[in-house]
Structure 1
Amino acid sequence: MLPLSIGSISGLKKLDTRRNGCIRPPKGTQEKGPQAVVEYLKRVENASLRKLLDVENFGLSSFPLDTLAMQDLTELNLSANSISALPREIVVLTRLVTFRYSSNNLLTLPSIVCKLTTLTSLDLQENKLNSLPSNFSELPLMSINLSRNNFEIFPPPLERMTNLEHIDLTDNRLTRLPFMIGRFVYATAILLGGNQVSVLPDSLGAMGEASLQVINLSKNGLFDLPSALFNIKRLERICLSGNNLRELPNQLCVLKKLKELWLDHNQLTYLPSRLGELVSLSALYLHSNRLKMIPKNLVELKGLKVLTLSGNELRELPWDFHRLSELEELWLDDNQFEALQLERSLFPRLQFLTFRHNPLTKEVFKRLKENFEGLDKNHDEENQAEDEENQADDE
C-alpha cells in the first residue's frame, strides 16, 4: 500500500504505480489527479475495517475487482461512475446489505445479483434499465430505488415483493399501476412522480390501516382521485403537484394525520369545504392553480406553517386570516389582491412573505412593505427595481 502521506506532496503532477504489488487505482481515478488516487487508496485500505467501500464519483469505467476480495463488506457505493456491467463474481459478497449503484450506464441487471441473499437496500437510480430479472423477487429487499430509468410498466417482479418498505420509480415512463399495488402493506413510502399515470387503481385503498405515510404522484396525468386513496389513514404526506386536477373531494379531509399536502400546478378552482378538518397539516402548497377563493375554515388549520397561494386568482383572504398565527412562510404574489389586511404583530413566527404582482394601491403596498420589512428576502433585487420605478412615478 502506498503511504497516505504522499498526498501532502503539493507539487506532484504524475504518479506511476505500475510494476508494484500494491493496489493499482483505476485509470479514471488516476486521470482525476494524485489527490483522487490517494483518497481512493485510503478508502480501499479502510474498507475491510469499516465493512464499507464508498468510491462514488471516482471515474471508474469497470467494476473494481479488488472489491471481490472484501467479502466482509456490508455496504458498497459505486454511484456516479461509468460502470456499464456487473461481474458474475459479485455473488461472493455474501454479507452485502446496502448496494448503491446509481448514475452509471447499466443497461441490464444480471440475474446473478439476485443471489445476494443479505441485500436489503438497492439503489439503481439514473441508469438505463427497462426491466428486471425474473428472479429479482428472490432478493430480501426492503428498499428499492429505480427512479430515472426507462421503465414503461411497473416491473412484474416487484409485484411479488410485498415486504418492501420504500419503493421509488420516480421519473420513468409508467402509464398505469398494477392492481396488486394494494398489497404493499408494509410500505411507508411509494414514490411515482414524473410518470404518465392518468388513473389510479381502486386497489390502493386495500392498504387501509397499513404503514404508508408518503405517496408521491406528482407530474403525472391525473384528472381525479379515487375515493379509495382516502382509506389510507396513516398518510402524512401527499404530493399531487403538476397534474390536471380540477377538484378535490371532501373525503380528503378524513386524513387526520396528514402533515404536508402538495397541490400546486393543477387546475383547481375551489377547495374542499371541510379543508379545516386536516388538523395535523403544517404545509399546504396551492400555488399555480385557478383558485378564486379559499374556504373560510382554512383558518382552523392552527398548526399551519407554510402556505403558498401564489399564481391564483384570489381577491381577498378570510377576515380572520390572522388566526393562522403559526405561519412561517406565506406566498401571496401573482393574484388579484387590491388590499391585504395583514399586521406583522399577528404573525410572530413569520419569516417569509411575498405579495408582489398584485393590483395593490401604492398606499397599501407601502404599508405592507414597511410593516413586513426584511421578510421578502427572495425578491430583494426586484423590490429595489420596483421601488425605483414607484419613486420615479411619484416624482
Structure 2
Amino acid sequence: MKKFSCQSCGQLLFFENTACERCGATLGFVQETARLSALQPGPNGGWLPLDRQAAAVDGQPIERHFCINHAPNVCNWLLPANVSDTVFCFACQFNRIIPNLDRPGNLERWHRLEVAKHRLFYTILRLNLPVHTRKERPETGLAFDFLDDPPDNSTSIMTGHANGVITIATKEADDAYREGMRVELGEYYRTLLGHFRHEIGHYYWGLLIRDGDWLEECRAIFGDDRQDYQAALAAYYHRVEPDNWRKSFVSLYATSHPWEDFAETWAHYFHIVSTLETALSYDVSVSADIGGAALSVHAGDPYTQMSFDEIINAWVPLTSVVNALNRSMGLPDFYPFVLTQGVRAKLAFIHTVIRATQEKQAHGAVY
C-alpha cells in the first residue's frame, strides 16, 4: 500500500480514512490513479479531488460522486470520471450478497469485510489484472456473497470459491471466531485479507491458467488438478501431517490439492508485493547483513518493476526484521512461513504469469 498524505494540510493518511484527522477534509479514493485524495465540494453537488492527477480529465475539472456504499460507511471510493450508469465503485460492483444488516453487529462485520476486500482490489488495480463482473460473464464472472449462518444454526456457511463466486462467511469478521478456527485447524495465519487473497487465487486460476496458456506449465509445478477435489480434501483432514511438507508447500493446507496449493501461493505473492510496497513507501531499508540480502529504498515498484529475485531478496530480510520486532513486543511472528526453494519456484511461476498478463494487457489483449 502506498503512503498517502492530505493534499490540503500534509497530514499522513491511511487507505481506509474518510476524513483528515488534522484539517477535517473529506477524503476519497480515486481508482484511476490509485490515490487517496482530499476533496472539495463541486458546484453540482459532487466532489472535486485536490489530487492534481485526478482533479481533471483533458484539462477540465470533473466532479465525482461517492459509491453508494459510502452512506453506511463501508466504502470511501469515488466513481470513475464520466460514469453515470452505476452507483457502485469498482470494488463494490462485485458484491452480490451483503450481510443481513438487521442482525446485530453485521454492519460492523460488513465494514471489516469491505476493508479487506478494498485492499484486495487495490492490489488487482496495481497489478493491472483482468477482472470481469457477473454481468459481463454470467457463468464465470467474479461476485462476492457475504453469508450468515442461518438463525437456527442448521448449517455452517463455509468460505470458498465456485465458478467465480467467492463466498465469505460473515462470522469470519469476528476476531474471536477466526482465532478459534485458526487454533483448531493448526494454522499459522488466518485473516480476512488472507481469505480474500486466497479465494481470488482460485478465480485467477480459472481466468489465467485454465482459460489461458499456462495449464500444462502449472500442472508441472503444482501437480495435476484433475485429481478428485472432494476426495483430496477428505483425505487431507484425516491423514497424518506429511513429513518435510515445507520443502514444497507454503502452508500445510496447500498440500491438500493442486488448486489449494496454487491459491495459497497466489495469496502469499499478494502478501509479499503489497507489504513491500508499504515498506518502500515509508522508506524502510534493511541491511544486507540480514539474511545475506537487502531491502533498499531504491528497489523500485514490486507491482510492476521489480524482478522476482529482487522481490525475494527484499522480502526475506524485511520479514526477519519485522518478526524480531514482533517478538520484542511479545507478539507472534509477522510472517511465520518458510520460503524454501520449492515454494520460491511456485511463487516465481505466479510472478511470471502476472508479468506476462501485464504485458498482454498493455498491448490490448482480452482475457
The TM-score, its normalising length taken from structure 1, stands at 0.24
Q: Relative to total residues, which structure has the larger helix share, 1 or 2?
A: 2
Higher gyration radius (CA): 1
> RCO greater where, 1 or 2, for CA within 8 Å and sep 6 or more?
2
The TM-score, its normalising length taken from structure 2, stands at 0.25
